[in-house]
Each structure stands twice: as structure tokens, then as C-alpha cells.
Amino acid sequence: MKMLINSPQTVVADALRGLAAAHPDLEVDVEARVVVRKGAREGGRVGLVSGGGSGHEPLHAGFVGPGMLSAACPGEVFTSPVPDQVLRAAKAVDSGQGVLFVVKNYTGDVLNFDMAAELAEEDGVRVQRVLVDDDVAVTDSLYTAGRRGTGATLFVEKIAGAAAEEGAPLEQVAAVAERVNKASRSFGVALSACTTPAKGSPTFDLPDGELELGIGIHGEPGRERRPMMTAREIAEFAVGAVLDDLASVAPADGPVLALVNGMGATPLLELYGFHAAVAQVLADRGVPVARSLVGNYVTSLDMAGCSVTLCRAEEEFLRLWDAPVQTPALRWGR
């Protein structure tokens, strides 16, 4: 496989050096693998820290900046960050108001962030945690017990980040993050498998003319394989799965935040066409779309495909969503 890298061993460090060169408003510690917003302790704000394996860019380092994350901890490709990374990040952003950990529900992430929280508390840093588990495709997987954390991570980080930027206390920031997670559901589809730099070959076999429904963001195969479908057929399946699971979240006919997320190798031409299908399916089902976001945000290296994330849009969610944000991957209102 051809990749634009120097070597599999240096791919994460090289990417972090590039991030630092492109975004001097971030403090990037390549050796410690921590990305911090400059002035993170200023203003007495609650700190927001997230992280996970690399390969999902721009998640998480691309969401560090005013109005979103205070710091991110990138692990090796598809590998959780270690507790020392997370602890270093927590200390770097704590202004005395506490730190919220945003953790995707994968076993390694959960264990390492929990250990870092214990260490931080011992050092006098107050920590709360929100667990993101929005994927409706599977209950358990190779990487996790319970549902996987996927596209809703962006919603949680943006909305909680805006609350922190406004000066909300830790308990309030954590509470809104929990509410966003509980109101969000996702479903992913792959047209091709991804290729990790270390392996150099696809993570699973997907023959021509077939697609995988219900995939994860670490190259996990889905829950069902079918012959290739049209964008409208895929939208019907994915949106249906999400809305069926969201039925228990009131109000059932309320507006939603909608994310059509590319998995890394799908061009925007296709993503916008797919979004048109998603919007039409939602309209046919009587679900208003309050805000939409289309693009590559929570990826899986070079996987072709997409995911759909919907969040029941409370008025407070929309206000915080619209609040200014300035990060490498998400920016408006400034």
C-alpha cells in the first residue's frame, strides 16, 4: 500500500510536528504526545481533555482551541493514550476549576482515563468524566463492553466546550455533556476497509460490489454485509437504525443536530449527495433538522464510507452549538 509517511514508527510524531507547524496557536509536545490550547489556564475556565488512538483525525487534536477542547492526548494508531499523557494534559489545563474528561467507550480509553483521573485527584486536580457511547450498530465489540463512542464525540466536545468557555462550573459542564451523549445516536457504513501503517493491508476483506453496515472507527467489520446500495438506500437504513433507537429520547418529533461524517476516503461530492438523502429521509419521517455538519471529522484512516449522527436538539444545545469556536478543524463565529 502507498502511504504519504516516512515510516510506521514515526507516523504519529511526524503528524504532530506538522500540526505544530500549521497551527502555532497550539502548544504541541511531540515527545509527551499532548496538544494544549495556548492560555488554557487563563480565565478560570473548566478544562476539557479528550484523546484516543491516532487515525481518527481531526478527532481529537483538531478540536483543541477556544470554544472546544483545552487539550488532547493522541495515542499511537488505534491505541489508547497512556495515563501519564492524560495526567500531563489535565495538569496543563487545570485553572483550579476542575477538568472534564471526554472519553469514548473503548476499553483501553476507559481504563487509562480512569487511572489518570485517580492520579490527578491525588495531585489536587478535580476531575469528572463523561463516557460517549452513541453507536447503535453493536452492543459489544472487540474493543469495548457496551456501545462504542463515535460521531457524538464531536457534539459532546463542542457543546461542553462552549459551556466551559462561558464560565460554567465543572458540574454543569459535565451535566450538559452527559445530556448530549444521551440524546445522540450514530450508525456507520464502510465501502472499503482501512489500512493501518503498521499492517500495510486492509483490516478486513470487503469484496468489490459489497458494503459493510454498522462498522466501527477502528476498522472493525460491521454487523451486516450487503450488495452495494444507493445513497438513498444507505440513508434509509442508517437513519432508520438511529431514529429507532432515539425513539425513547423525547421529544420524538423534535428537531435534531445532524452530522454526516466521512470515514476518511470519501470525497465531499459524495458526502453532500449522501447528506441530501439523509435530509430527505428525515423530512419524510417528520424530523426537522436544526443544524447540519458535513465532512471528515471522526475518521478511520483511509476507510471509504460515512456515518450518521443525530442529536435531539434542546434549545440550550443549539445555543452552545452556535457559540464561537476556533480550532484547526472546526471554526465559526470569531
* CA-based torsion, 136, 139, 140, 145: positive or negative: positive
Whether 275 sits among the annotated catalytic residues: the reply is no
Q: Which of 60, 54, 57 is nearest to 36 (CA)?
A: 60
Q: Which of 307, 257, 250 is nearest to 282 (CA)?
A: 257
Whether 56 sits among the annotated catalytic residues: the reply is yes
Q: Which of 23, 56, 60, 275 is catalytic?
A: 56
Q: What H or E segment, with its residue span, contains residue 306?
A: strand 305-312
Kindly write down the DSSP assignment for every residue of 167-207, as one continuous string: T--HHHHHHHHHHHHHTEEEEEEESS--B-TTT-SBSS---
- Cβ atoms of 324 and 66 within 8 Å: the answer is yes
Cα distance between residue 52 and residue 108, in whole Å: 9
Cα dist. 252→246, 263, 279, 287, 313 in Å? 8, 28, 17, 8, 11
Q: Which residues are identified as catalytic?
A: 56, 218
